[in-house]
Structure 1
Amino acid sequence: MTEEDYHRYIDAFNARDYDALETFFADDFALENAGFRVQGKPAFRAFYAFFHEFCREEVIFKEFFPGRNGFVSNVVIRFTGIKNLSADVLDERGYSGMSVVPEGVSVDVEFYIHYILNKAGKIQFIKGAVWVPEAPAQG
């Protein structure tokens, strides 16, 4: 996948165009993030149908780092609460590692996301890591 392809991927994600987005995925791809795993396209759609009912996500591109078997991207994801989502509901759905964004609140979170591609160039595996900048020294 090239950086240009990745921009099309981000555009599809931001537009909630899951049909276009899934053209980038292997059939059995997996997404791991915040302590939970989504395996396959049906589980991906189910997760985002649920999550995007409560929270809008906008991916803001920063950098693209190509590698031998995939790539890493540096993005900021802006999470905006659409309606309140409780930790209990997240736990019930199996997404207990996620943080809650209250209704009407926007939070920008910087991620490094590792994408592993299969031999056909489709996304086989996605795993995100949150960048937590060092706090300024108190003096």
Structure 2
Amino acid sequence: MTEDDYHRYIEAFNAQDYATLETFFADDFVLENAGFAVRGKAAFREFYAFFHAFCREEVEFKEFFPGTSGFVANVVIHFTGLQELSQSQLDERGYSGMTPISIGMTVPVEFYIHYIVGADGLIHHIKGAVWIPET
């Protein structure tokens, strides 16, 4: 996947165009973040159908680091609360590593995301790491 491809991926993500996003994924891809895993395209759609009902995510691109088996992207994701979401709702679905965002509040979070890309050119694994700046 090239940096230009990744910019198209971000555009699709920001537009919540899941059908286009899924063209970048292998059928059995895995997304790991915040202490849980989403496995496969159906689980991906289920997770984001739930989460995006409560929270808008907008990805801001910062940097792209190509590698031999994929790439790492440095992005800032701006999370905006859309409707009330409790920690217990997240916990019940197995997303206990996530934190609810209050309605109307926007929180920017910097990530380094490792994308493992197969010989087929598709994303097979996504691992997110949150950057916590020194205070």
Q: Give the TM interval when normalised to the shorter protein.
A: over 0.9
Alignment of 1:75-94 (within 5 A): 75-94=75-94
Alignment of 1:82-121 (within 5 A): 82-121=82-121
Over 3 Å off, 4+ runs: none
Displacement of 1:104 in angstroms is 0.8
Where in structure 1 are there 5+ consecutive unaligned residues? none
Over the matched positions of the two proteins, sequence identity in percent amounts to 71
Residue 38 (structure 1) aligned with residue 42 (structure 2): no
Where in structure 2 are there 5+ consecutive unaligned residues? none
Displacement of 1:119 in angstroms is 1.1
Aligned equivalents of 1:96, 1:118: Cα separation in 2: 30
Alignment of 1:1-139 (within 5 A): 1-135=1-135
CA RMSD of aligned residues (A): 0.4
Q: What TM-score comes out, normalization by structure 2 length? A: 0.99
Q: What TM-score comes out, normalization by structure 1 length? A: 0.96
Aligned equivalents of 2:76, 2:85: Cα separation in 1: 21
Displacement of 1:54 in angstroms is 0.2
Give SS of 1:46's match: helix
**How many equivalent pairs are there?**
135
Amino acid at match of 2:62: K
Amino acid at match of 2:56: R
